[in-house]
């Protein structure tokens, strides 16, 4: 099987232990992660050859981030080096009615200062069949947006499948870039588009027809998003599949989770999972994307199976501490088959 390539920023995540608030913390747990690197780790766990491309500072912290990827089986030889620092984000984990909080410290990170021409994309894509990026990368800086555009153009020229997770982040897009124009151009190259209702509205002004999502809570039905998928396909005619995750937030500790996939003709829907006593929901969407890419590559004629795999994989991620989903294909298949008992495997 040919490689998958992902491109984005890996960061140092610092979090108070357990459910402590920032003001209570005397120490922080250190973990490395980021949207596109999390997808790469998922794929490596499933046995898919995958390279992660980024720009790292040539210092001990950059080396630690690279080593974390390497030990998970992700290819790191296409990473470029430069800049002075690795981006950081601080995470305060919420519980019950108190939501989690994220504070970014990623200004002037190595990838924020990346420039066109620093990555040889034709060399990166040699032997690859799939390229994945997210809406986080072009939000970091104009340079990161420019390099992301270089990447999708090169991937398109080489006839790779291109996917994106739109991933709107309200705390980013601080460099005065025209978000809608940038995201529209980048997304126009994509064959597979993942995003929820907030992503579609904030990036492109696309809303579900006849429905106010904010009033629906966790009772939102999959059919409500058909109009979003249809509008996305009209706006992006290259897209072959538009996928939406359906997260209902009953509390910070209890979410419902499902997904839908629209192929331009038929809408596929998964079962709804009840995820109670969440361990860590950060990276949930990334784990879905990793499962989806694996599913579409493994079951190219079975979109329902691919979607079911993605939702089950992401459901399991909510039980894993850290950004990345460290589960196996066998564990995902077990949950897909209806075994959610969590019994000890002896």
pLDDT of residue 215: 43
CB 104 within 8 A of CB 171: yes
CA 80 – CA 67 distance, rounded (Å): 14
CB 192 within 8 A of CB 161: yes
Q: Name the pTM for this structure.
A: 0.94
CA 73 – CA 65 distance, rounded (Å): 13
- Which structure tokens are listed for 246? 């359906």
For residues 247-260, one letter each, b for 16 or more C-beta atoms within 10 angstroms of the residue's C-beta and e for the rest, the string is bbeeebbebbbbbb
Record: fold of 3-335: 3.40.1190
Question: What's the maximum distance between 2 C-alpha atoms anywhere in the chain?
Answer: 56
Of 108, 189, 98, which Cα lies nearest the Cα of 144?
108
CB 84 within 8 A of CB 111: no
- In this structure, the number of other CB atoms found within 10 A of the CB of residue 294 comes to 25
CA 342 – CA 324 distance, rounded (Å): 20
**Could you give phi then psi for residue 295, rounded to 5 degrees?**
-65, -45
pLDDT of residue 20: 95
Of 12, 49, 17, which Cα lies nearest the Cα of 31?
12
pLDDT of residue 212: 58
Sign of CA dihedral 234, 142, 285, 293: positive
Three-state DSSP state, 340: coil
The ranges of the chain with pLDDT < 50 are: 214-216
pLDDT of residue 210: 64
CA 272 – CA 96 distance, rounded (Å): 20
Q: How would DSSP label each residue in 148-167? A: HHHHHHHHHHTT-EEEEE--
Q: How would DSSP label each residue in 265-289? A: S-EEEPPPEEEES-S--TTHHHHHH
Of 219, 215, 162, which Cα lies nearest the Cα of 188?
162
């Amino acid at each position: 099987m040919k490689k998958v390539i992902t491109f984005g920023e890996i960061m140092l995540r610092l979090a108070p232990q357990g459910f402590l608030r920032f003001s209570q913390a005397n120490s922080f747990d250190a973990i490395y992660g980021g949207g596109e690197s999390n997808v790469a780790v998922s794929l490596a766990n499933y046995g898919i050859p995958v390279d992660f491309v980024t720009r790292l500072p040539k210092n001990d912290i950059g080396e630690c981030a690279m080593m974390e990827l390497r030990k998970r089986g992700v290819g790191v030889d296409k990473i470029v080096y430069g800049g002075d620092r690795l981006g950081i984000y601080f995470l305060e984990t919420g519980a019950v009615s108190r939501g989690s909080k994220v504070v970014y410290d990623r200004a002037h990170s190595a990838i924020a200062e990346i420039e066109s021409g620093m990555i040889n994309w034709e060399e990166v894509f040699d032997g690859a069949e799939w390229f994945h990026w997210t809406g986080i990368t072009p939000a970091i800086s104009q340079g990161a947006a420019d390099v992301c555009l270089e990447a999708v153009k090169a991937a398109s020229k080489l006839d790779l499948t291109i996917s994106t997770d739109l991933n709107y982040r309200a705390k980013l897009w601080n460099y005065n870039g025209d978000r809608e124009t940038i995201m529209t151009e980048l997304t126009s190259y994509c064959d597979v588009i993942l995003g929820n209702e907030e992503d579609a509205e904030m990036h492109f002004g696309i809303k579900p027809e006849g429905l106010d999502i904010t009033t629906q809570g966790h009772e939102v039905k999959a059919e409500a998003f058909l109009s979003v998928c249809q509008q996305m396909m009209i706006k992006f005619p290259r897209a072959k599949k538009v996928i939406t995750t359906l997260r209902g937030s009953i509390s910070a500790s209890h979410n419902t989770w499902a997904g839908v996939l629209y192929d331009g003709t038929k809408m596929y829907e998964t079962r709804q999972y009840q995820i109670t006593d969440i361990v860590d929901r950060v990276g949930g969407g990334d784990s879905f994307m990793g499962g989806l890419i694996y599913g579409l590559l493994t079951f190219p004629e079975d979109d329902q199976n691919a979607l079911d795999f993605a939702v089950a994989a992401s459901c399991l991620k909510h039980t894993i501490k850290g950004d990345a989903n460290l589960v196996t294909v066998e564990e995902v298949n077990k949950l897909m088959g209806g075994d959610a008992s969590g019994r000890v495997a002896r």
